[in-house]
Amino acid sequence: MNVGDRHYRTIWLNEDGRSVDIIDQRWLPHDLRVETVDSVAGIATAIRDMWVRGAPLIGVTAAYGVAIQMREDASDAALDKVWHQLHETRPTAINLRWALDEMRRVLTPLPLAERAEAAYRRAAEIADEDIELNRSIGRHGLEIIRKIAATKKPGEPVNILTHCNAGWLATVDYGTATAPIYLATEAGIPVHVYVDETRPRNQGAQLTAWEMAGHGVPHTLIVDNAGGHLMQRGAVDMVIVGTDRTTANGDVCNKIGTYLKALAAHDNGVPFYVGLPSPTIDWTVHDGLTEIPIEERSGDEVALVWGRTASGEIAQVRISPDATPSANPAFDVTPARLITGLITERGVAHASPEGLKALFPERG
């Protein structure tokens, strides 16, 4: 995507051919900062502390972390160590494990002398593949928006509700949930996006809104609890969210609050779609409620918020009493029965084992 007159990915290889440059998303939307990361420890910090976030981007970042390790030490022991070190950073997002497994699969059979070059090459391929997956998700999702525009909203904007950030900042480019929105905008189909703020880290308010503004997409920021009200009033035509892990039976694990949006959509007859690339599907899990580990993050993310003060300073402030403890489950699980369809790179699947296997028969 473009920021001003320059095209950006979220991560790219530095000119030194060894380290990687990333957009440090902690400072958005107030400051666009690019950081150079040149160590496995730095990669782990960037993932764990959410300099980068979003399941696809976490996976790509981890792949480059393996490559950096192979430049330092290409032994089997080092490969095993970096796998565990990076896997522990964000346990819920399945793309992280998928990317680490893929790097280990490619590198293990190779002689030590060939591993570093192969690791950088495969990491770059995973990044390019992510872009193509997202572009394909966009094309399939575009047809859903086009149909709504033609049959239900002729001449009017299609109102789309999002939650969290599943945009290009959560991937390498295009995004998952946002790819159909961007392609619809480019196709001249009028859309309007309701952007959930997405407490506690405000990825909607800080990241999705920044993306929408940068791409010229009409949008409105709303508090998380306004979504149900808008659906009751007929103000939402469809919901599109992303996912950090989707089970083989179609359950979706995504940012906390997604489940409540799905319930409201179901109660009001609003189509609820999930945009996901196939590496986000965990074919080993069949019950999201019992089998997916839910990351519990620091309570400080609930009690403290970042923002820009009237003086222009980017600062953190406390919004709760010092003595009040905070709980911070980062994700929830939306059962397949509440999902209208899963928008993948191969098409739109029914949220069921049969629906997913129809598009991915090799996984049957």
Residue of 88, 94, 6 whose CA lies nearest to 56: 94
Instruction: Name the amino acid, one letter, at 357.
Output: K
- Catalytic residue status for 300: no
Q: Secondary structure of the chain: what % helix, strand, coil (to 5)?
A: 45, 20, 35
First-last CA distance in the chain = 36
Residue of 165, 269, 267 whose CA lies nearest to 208: 165
Residue 259, both tokens: 């489940």
Residue 93, both tokens: 């997002």
Q: Compute the distance between CA of residue 58 and CA of residue 60 in angstroms, rounded to an integer.
A: 6
Considering only CA atoms, give the Rg of the chain: 20
Helices and strands in the chain: count of H runs, count of E runs? 13, 18
Residue 168, both tokens: 């290009």
Residue 362, both tokens: 């090799």
Q: Compute the distance between CA of residue 16 and CA of residue 276 in angstroms, rounded to an integer.
A: 33
**SS3 string of 203-268?**
HHHHHHHHHHHHHCCCEEEECHHHHHHHHHCCCCCEEEECCCEEECCCCEEEECCHHHHHHHHHHC
Residue of 196, 244, 251, 282 marked active site = 244
Per-residue exposure over 293-327, b if at least 16 CB sit within 10 Å of its own CB, e if not:
eebebeeebbbebeeeeeeeeeeeeeeeeeeeeee
Catalytic residues, which ones? 244
